[in-house]
Structure 1
Amino acid sequence: MERGFEKASSDSLLAVDLDMITAFFATNSKFLSTEIQNVKTYKASKTDYGDKAIGYVQLKRDGNICIVNARIAPEHKIHSKQYKVSAVINETEEDVISCECIDCAAAEGGCKHAVVFLMWLHRRSEEVEVTSTTCYWKRPALAEVGQSTKYATLAMSTGKTPPPLEPKTTTFHKAVVSAFPNSSW
């Protein structure tokens, strides 16, 4: 954790609404290029990547300015170094001042990691948990894939266990067994 920052949780995280994000993308020159408007960025802003890839979220408040930092696990090379992203938001004016990826080679052109992080902040703002507090200072779920096994399984990627396999019996085998009921097949 960085000096002066605290672990982010659902009750300490600031509210980021869609108007703030839209205004930021419309006025920031890094995000006006055609690269940021492509399919890759659109897919990255969906919940399935952002919720699994973001972890170790920390924040620091300095007056009305809130700085939120996080780590994002790479989408393909999941064992590579995680990207550090940072968002600076003015809470009183409800304005996203900056959002950038520190470690990405494409950061100068407005990389997808900044988009993923802003959309993640927006989704966390919409979640209202009255009776519980969720801590966001944890390892990203995407970084866990492949740690204990060599290959990812269906249960690891979807969170659901597949139905058990039924034994393979052919129609021919059933016909033979029924034709000879006293036999020890």
Structure 2
Amino acid sequence: MALYGLKLRRQEQVTIMEADFIKANSSNLPKIDVVMLSVFFASNNFCSTEFCNDKTSISSSQTSYGDDAISFVQLKRDGKLCVIKCKICPEYKVHANVYAVTLTVDEEDGVICSFECHGCVAPQGCCKHAMAFIMWIHRRSEEPSSSFTECYWRKSKLSQIRTNPKYMTVKHMFKSSPSLPSDPSVLVEFLEEAKKRKLNCKLLKYYEPNSSFHNPENV
């Protein structure tokens, strides 16, 4: 019961929208262009040696990490400021708690004002989760305009691994019960050839004289 409550609290933490925020979509996201990115990187000491390990971590991440990991994007506007929040799934430990990233953009002056990854142990604002979110918004800003509005209040691709089965079985591959061919000639031929060559094949032990599968026609 306690485990169920913990899972429920984690789910609520991810899916409940904060007060005064709205769902982010392709038509209401703030723009982050190349100039804003240049000013952002230049003004946050990303060339200093103390951030070397963090830059390495960021550059070593997969280019598609942000697109696969970011979920439940919400935003609110207060004058010229736009606050954008998201949940981002860890890159490797996908079953761990998600990170919450907050980004504030001055849309009038075209400046990234502040950024924070809550709960991350990396230096403030310099973890790959915050970087992934900033670059994700930048990529959305570079996309051509479309009449279709895409909602970003949704689960991430990486988070879906948590609910997907660990292993895929035959029943997941077919809508109905799979039918096996009734002609065992191929199997018989393989068994005979394997015995002649004395192959170390685990399949052979199921067709030993004492096995219930001894007769291939029973398969």
AA paired with 2:141?
S
* TM-score normalized with structure 1 length: 0.76
What's the secondary structure of 1:145's corresponding residue? helix
Measure how far apart 1:25 and its partner are.
1.6
CA RMSD of aligned residues (A): 2.5
CA distance in 2, matches of 1:20, 1:120: 14
- Partner amino acid, structure 2, of 1:44: S
**1:69 counterpart = 2:85:** yes
Q: Structure 2: how far apart are the matches of 1:131 and 1:109? A: 34
How many angstroms apart in 2 are the aligned matches of 1:115 and 1:16?
13
Pick from 35, 40, 53: which aligns with 1:35? Answer: 53
Task: Please give the residue correspondences for 1:48-87 in structure 2 after superposition, counting only pairs within 5 Å.
Answer: 48-87=64-103
Q: Output the CA distance in 2 between the equivalents of 1:24 and 1:18.
A: 10
> Which of residues 111, 121, 140 is equivalent to 2:127?
111
Q: Separation in 1 of the partners of 2:107 and 2:115?
A: 14
Write the distance in 2 (CA, Å) between the matches of 1:109 and 1:63. 24
Do structure 1's residue 149 and structure 2's residue 165 form an aligned pair? Answer: yes
Q: Tell me, in whole angstroms, the C-alpha distance in 1 between the residues paired with 2:101 and 2:112.
A: 14
Tell me which of 148, 151, 162 is aligned to 1:132. Answer: 148
Residue 164 (structure 1) aligns with:
none
Count of paired positions: 158
Unmatched segments (≥5 aa) in structure 1? 153-166, 174-185
Which deviates more from structure 2 when the two are superposed, residues 131-140 or residues 100-109? Answer: 100-109
- TM-superposed deviation, 1:28: 1.7
Query: 2:28 pairs with 9, 12, 29, which one?
Result: 12
Return the TM-score normalized by structure 2.
Answer: 0.65
**RCO higher in structure (CA 8 A, sep ≥6):** 1
Structure 1 pair 51/145, CA: closer, same or farther in 2 (3 Å)?
Answer: same
Answer whether contact 2:117 2:125 (CA < 8 A) is retained.
no
Cα displacement (A) at 1:108: 2.7
SS of aligned partner of 2:54: helix
What is the deviation of 1:44?
A: 3.0
Of structures 1 and 2, the larger Rg is shown by 2
Structure 2 unmatched runs, 5+: 1-16, 169-185, 194-219
Confirm or deny: 8 A CA contact 2:115 2:125 kept in the other structure.
Answer: no
SS at match of 1:41: helix
**C-alpha distance in 1, partners of 2:20/2:47?**
30
Q: Provide Cα deviations, 1:52-74, integer angstroms capped at 9, x if missing partner.
A: 00010000100000000001001
Classify 1:87/1:109 alpha carbon distance in 2 versus 1 (closer, same or farther; 3 Å): closer
Q: What percentage of residue pairs aligned between the two structures are identical?
A: 39
- Looking at structure 2, the residues matched to 119 and 3 of structure 1 have their Cα atoms a distance apart, in angstroms, of 26
Task: State the secondary structure of the residue aligned to 2:113.
Answer: strand
